[in-house]
Amino acid sequence: MTYKQRNTNQLAIDLITLSRFNRYNPLLATFSGVWATILAGSHKITHSPNSVTSEYVLSQALLCFICSFVFCGAGMVWNDWIDLHIDRQVARTKGRPLARGAVTTSEALVWMAFQFISSWVLVSWMLEGENVQAAMLPVTLSTILYPFAKRPIFRRLHIYPQYLLGFTLAYPSLIGTLAIKPEGNAQPLWASINQSLPMFVTVFTWTLYLNTAYSYQDVVDDQKMNVNSAYVLAGSYIHHLLVVLAVLVLGAVGWQLYGQESQWLWGGWMGVWTWSFLGQLVRFDKSRPESGGPLHKENFALGVWTVFVCVVELLIGGNGC
């Protein structure tokens, strides 16, 4: 009994590790939805003060956080299963539970299915059964395709895995927008898509930036295996690529904030991100691929900071001053 109990406990630990729940990475998948929910709620409170409460907005943001977190866990399992033969050859990934044989394929797939179904149920609850397929199917498809985009065949199509990852992490901005229903509940889906577009572009470009820097740590092994990736293509121009991506991110943030008309957001979001990006680009060293790791962590901190900025914007009633 003791031996079986020890195995059960170890399996639970390995499954948590498989979904990266022991690390901060899945939290990156929660930012776009949480930001979008809070800012949509802030906008609604500003223009219709009695239509919704801050408590309701924050409860919807929490649901969006949980949905995104759990869905990301399922995506991590799928990625490791498809990339199993690659992970076993890369120094940074060969210790993952599937790669080292700590979790069987059957166990991993059951765990993945449980997380996916849970996230679908939570999204349905949050959206009160409306637009659930529109919220879940596109991001599910991009998650399925993501690991395959690392194959050389996708290079011929000029499709890189960062594109699909960016789409996957940015798409919850639509879910967050849908979570705050407009007055009269009459807004069509296309209008919600249009409303969420600036946030989508912000998170999409931000993901390209931070993932390119982070994944550059594997550039030596990936070049040997001819892995399809933007940082492999960039080669010695990796620093130039990061500068271009940083400019695109800040431009997208400006687009998002232009519609918010908030001095607080301009200072707390745009100001802090601009200063941070300048420091990151100075510290990144293409001759030391490992320098991309700290940059990735700093961007996670920016994501957490921006949640705080959005919450303050909500609590001050969207006045931004």
**pLDDT value for 160:** 78
pLDDT digits (tens, 9 = 90+) for 264-313: 999 999 999 999 999 999 988 777 767 677 888 899 999 999 999 999 99
Confidence of residue 154 (pLDDT cuts 50, 70, 90): confident
The helix/strand/coil state of 254 is helix
CB 54 within 8 A of CB 315: yes
Q: For the whole model, what pTM was predicted?
A: 0.89
What CATH number is associated with residue 136? 1.10.357.140
Top-confidence residue, 319 or 81: 81
In a domain, 303, yes or no: yes
Residue 320 lies in a domain: no
Whether residue 321 is contained in a domain is answered as: no
Please check whether residue 265 lies inside any domain of the structure.
yes
Whole-number pLDDT of residue 226: 54
Which of the pair, 7 or 289, is modelled with greater confidence? 7
- Segment 228-271, tens digit of pLDDT: 455 555 556 688 889 999 999 999 999 999 988 899 999 999 99
Question: Is-contact 255 202, C-beta < 8 A?
Answer: yes
Q: 173-218, pLDDT tens digit by residue?
A: 999 999 998 765 667 899 999 999 999 999 999 999 988 887 766 5
Q: Tell me, what's the pLDDT at 3?
A: 42
DSSP, collapsed to helix, strand or coil, labels residue 280 as helix
Q: Show the domain range for 292.
A: 2-315
* Residue 86 vs residue 301, higher pLDDT: 301
Mean pLDDT score, 72-91: 89
Structure confidence at residue 7 (pLDDT): 80
Out of 10-14, 36-40, 107-111, 208-212, least confident range: 208-212
Which of 72-81, 206-215, 221-230 ranks highest by mean pLDDT? Answer: 72-81
Do the beta carbons of residue 30 and residue 68 sit within 8 Å?
Answer: yes
Which of 39-53, 109-123, 167-181, 206-220 has the least mean pLDDT?
206-220
Instruction: Give pairs for 223-230: CB < 8 Å, separation 24+.
Output: 225/86, 225/89, 226/152, 227/86, 227/150, 228/149, 228/150, 228/151, 228/152, 228/154, 228/155, 228/160, 228/161, 229/150, 229/160, 229/161, 229/162, 230/160, 230/162
Residue 158's pLDDT is what? 75
Structural domain count of the chain = 1
Instruction: Tell me, yes or no, whether 176 lies in a domain.
Output: yes
| Widest distance between CA atoms in the chain | 62
| pLDDT higher than threshold 60 for residue 224 | no
